Each structure stands twice: as structure tokens, then as C-alpha cells.
Homo-oligomer: A and B are copies of this chain.
Amino acid sequence: MSALRFEVLARSGTCEARVGRVTTLHGSFDTPAFMPVGTAGSVKGLLPEQVAQTGSQIILANTYHLMLRPGAQLVAQMGGLHGWMRWDRPILTDSGGYQVFSLAQIRRLHDEGVEFKSHIDGATIGLTPEAAIQVQNQLGADIIMPLDDCPPAAAEGLGGGAAGSEPRIEETVVSEAVYPRLQQACERTVRWLGRCVRAHERRRDQALFGIVQGGIDLRLRSWCVQRVIEYDLPGYAIGGVAVGEGFDQVRSVVEHTAPLLPADRPRYLMGVGYERDLLVAVRAGVDMFDCVLPTRNGRNALAFTSGGPIRLRNARYADDARVIEPGCDCVACGSVGGRAGFSRGYLRHLFMAGEMLGPVLVSAHNIRHFQRYMLDIRRAIIENDWSLIERNWPVVRSWLEGSGASVRRRC
């Protein structure tokens, strides 16, 4: 078999959403899929079996972090990512590009590649398209990504709005001042993709996706889609979103770009996002997501619920005997081996006392929250009934009502 197979199992009757299954040499995952992030080879605080218990069928690991520490060669020598971290299901690695542009101090960016200072020890490291693929060949994930030129929107004024001043939907053509940089990033991303395709040495067991850049400029997005799909790759990603721009801009880009990508390949929206973002993207035809929100927020005592997030450090929860979300079947809320779920009061105490178990439990809950949400989204698509989402997920409903757009009416 090939490195990746994608089957579409059901399509929404009213929008671009579809339910599918992606099969890799390490097993399958259902789409639309949410991938929790295991940055340095560990979904923070959770054992692999606990990650699996959240319903996660695929996880993402960050090439940037792993190449700096412990190094891809060591991981390869220790059995590759799957064996090393003891996760025998599908894994996706990013190219490292996003972190180079967001975490590291860039020393030089040119057509050959990018030189940056390691955020760990300040060492100067070079990353080329070929190196990004070689490193990912060593790590051995099932799905790998090409190096792209991914300028942060907000930091460089590429359409990123200041906090609280989201640009309106219409503003989807960038100003003349920033357009050249955006166009350069697009063209470079396409050139680099060609080099990545040629450098890829494990085509039989690793699927290399293409990435579409273009910022919030829809003409550039269209242009980039055309160039990228010429490579006839097993999947395509929409990159360069959630890098500082507002929700309406993300929405505009996704609703424009996703339908341009081949319908018989999985579409992956990188680094997104909140529940409403996922819903909008699924309805535009996106199949895969990753986001650090459940784990990063979980470590900070922010727990997702169907009615919106709650801050567990708040004093009001000290004597709250309820679990985070009554009815949730996660390890924090659900009954396990005769024990009832943990109360919000106890969880608050864990955070106030600096106990590790707090981050562990709320991370597990938050990931399960997103997986239960994806389950309902897949069901809504199969049953062609989006009212399910409106009923079960008030956090989305209230936004939909606020924006005047009902899920049911739109789909």
C-alpha cells in the first residue's frame, strides 16, 4: 500500500463538510480529526495510553524542537518517533518552519533556506528544505510537511489586526506595502516544495503534504493552490493562518482556499483553533486540525466546557463539588474503576498548591473536550443535521447567534 490512503465516507448535503478516514502504516484516523500537540515528543503530562483514551488517533510533534533536542539522528537510532515515545499510532511532524519564524531569532532568510539562533542554547542553525525533509525522514512520522516561508502576520503587518480591532471580512487584499513580502513568501514556499519533494527519501511510508501560503490575500492563495497541487501530493495544508490575524480573516481565507484543494485528498488547516474556528473550517471542507490550546490552556487551569471555558483558579470553585463538565467521560470528569470524577474544588486546589496532577487532569479533559466535539461534528455531517451541534455546544451556539449565522440555516 502507499504511505497514505484517504476515503471519504460521507458528505454533508448542505456544505463542503465531509467525514473520512485516513489510513497510514501506523493505523487509521477518522476525519475531521483533531490532533493534540506533543511538541518535544510528549503530549505534556500524559502517557501515550492516556492520550489514546482521549480519543486522539493521531498526534503532532514539532520537528523544530526535536531537531534541537535530542536531535533527529538520536531519535532515528532509538527507533524513530513512534518507538522512542511509545506511540504506535499515526504521527504528523511539521517542518520546523513555523517555529523558526515564531520562536527563534532569524539570522538570515534567503532562497537557500533560513539561518536562526536556537532558542535553547543560542547556537546558529541552518534549515533548508532538504534538511527539513531529511530530519523528518529520520524522525519517521507518517505525515511530514515541507519547509515553508511563513511570515507572522501581526509581527510584520501582513494584515494582522491589533487586539480588539478585527479587520472586516472585506479586507482580504493586503496593502501594497506588505504585498511584495507575501508574494515572495508564496513563491519561495512553492520553490521550496519542489526541493522537498525531490529530497524525500521515504515515500513508501511517509506522506509528504503540500502547504498553501498567501496570507490573507485571496488572489495569492489561489495562485499558490494552483502551483502546489501540480505536485499531486497525498494531502494539502493551509498554512500561514492563525499567525496573528483575526477570526473573520481566517474564515475568509479558509472558505476561499479549502474548496480549491482536490476533494480526494485530506485538507489540513495548520494550528487552528477554537471550537468556532474548527466548525467554520469543517464546513469549508477541512479534514485535519492541530492546536496547542487544550494542553497549553489546561496547564494554566483553563478548562473547556460545552458552554465555554472556565478558569479553575477562580475562588468560586473552591467548594464546587461538580466535575468540570457533567457527562464528560474524560479521566478527570468520568468514573474510573469505581472512583467518581474529580471536583472543580479539588482541581482548583491542585493548581493553587502547584500540584502536577492539575495540569495533567485538565489537559486530558481539554483534549477529550475537543475529541467529543469532533465526534459530534462527524455525526452532524453523517446525519446531515447540524442542530446537534447547536444543542450540545452552547459555546458555538452563542457565537453563531451573535454573528447572526445559524449553523442550521447556513448549512
Residues in A lying within 8 Å of B, measured CB to CB: 40-42, 44-49, 52, 65, 69-70, 74, 77-79, 83-88, 318-319, 321, 331, 336-343, 345-346, 349-350, 352-353, 355-357, 359-361
Contact = CB atoms under 8 A, between A and B. Distances in A.
A45 B352 CA distance: 15
A336 B45 contact: no
A70 B321 CA distance: 14
DSSP majority for the A interface? loop
B47 A349 contact: no
B45 A357 contact: yes
Contact of A44 (B74, B337, B356, B361): B356
Given A40-B353, A357-B47, A339 B88 contact: yes
Nearest to A85: B346
Given A339-B86, A342-B86, A356-B356, A349 B70 contact: yes
14 contacts: A40-B349, A41-B355, A42-B350, A45-B356, A47-B360, A49-B339, A69-B349, A70-B352, A74-B319, A74-B345, A77-B319, A78-B346, A84-B343, A84-B345
A318 B47 CA distance: 20
B86 A355 contact: no
Copies in the complex: 2
Contacts of A69: 349, 352-353
A356 B46 CA distance: 8
Given A69-B352, A86-B340, A346-B86, A45 B360 contact: yes
Contacts of A337: 49, 52
A40 B85 CA distance: 30
A331 to B, nearest CB: 7
A93 to B, nearest CB: 16
A70 B361 CA distance: 19
B78 A357 contact: no
Contacts of A40: 349, 353, 355
Given A40-B353, A48-B339, A345-B84, A319 B359 contact: no
Nearest to A364: B47
Contact of A47 (B48, B78, B79, B331): B331
A249 to B, nearest CB: 34
A132 B69 CA distance: 49
Contacts of A85: 346
The 9 closest A-B pairs by CB, nearest first: A45-B356, A40-B353, A86-B339, A42-B357, A42-B355, A70-B349, A49-B337, A78-B345, A84-B346
